[in-house]
Amino acid sequence: MMECIFCKIIKKEIPAHIVYEDDDLIAILDISQSTRGHTLILPKNHVATLYDLTPPQAATIFRQVPEIARAIQAAFHPIGMNLLVNVNQPMQSVFHLHIHLIPRYPADNVTMTFQNNMGKISQDALADIAAKIREQL
């Protein structure tokens, strides 16, 4: 199996623009730069998806998110920021867990559309959905 591109970046086998690094994680600029400062935070240990992440690994990777977000805010003054983790289809393209920090700017042309079903789903249906999730915890 071919080693993932993020593992190669972590090993410094291919270049990346690193904004933060410690023993457990690395934060790099997303090469697409959907918006100025778009940053990826990833664990140094290969974890394919959010489903594979253990609670201690989650604590490790998420501990730096606020600090890196504040650094992006201070550097570029976006009006807001999206935090995004893609899991499998249809959006995950590199199967090494990573968190996107996407600064938002006026007229940045970044779109995220969510269906608004408020009022279309009964309270009983919502209770059933919540119960099914609770059963799995």
Domain assignment of residue 79, yes or no: yes
Domain assignment of residue 95, yes or no: yes
User: How high does pLDDT run on average in the chain?
Assistant: 91
Are 10 and 26 in contact, with CB atoms under 8 Å apart? yes
pLDDT bracket for residue 63 (50, 70, 90)? very high
Known active-site residue 98: yes
Domain assignment of residue 137, yes or no: no
pLDDT score of 8: 92
38, 96, 98, 100: which one is catalytic? 98
Cα-trace Rg, the chain:
17
User: How many domains does the chain contain in total?
Assistant: 1
pTM of this prediction?
A: 0.88
Determine phi and psi for 80, rounding to 5 degrees. -175, -175
Domain assignment of residue 121, yes or no: no
Q: List, in sequence order, the alpha helices (H) in 50-108.
A: 55-62, 65-76
Question: Higher model confidence: residue 96 or residue 23?
Answer: 23
**What span, in angstroms and rounded, lies between the C-alpha atoms of 116 and 31?**
32
Domain assignment of residue 96, yes or no: yes
**What span, in angstroms and rounded, lies between the C-alpha atoms of 110 and 34?**
7
Domain assignment of residue 38, yes or no: yes
Encode 105-129 in three state secondary structure. CCCCCCCCCCCCCCCCCCHHHHHHH
Domain assignment of residue 27, yes or no: yes
Domain assignment of residue 55, yes or no: yes
CATH of the domain at 46: 3.30.428.10
Strand order in the sheet with 99-104: 18-21, 25-29, 39-43, 99-104, 80-84
Quote the domain boundaries for residue 39. 5-110
User: What is the DSSP pairing of strand 25-29 with strand 39-43?
Assistant: antiparallel
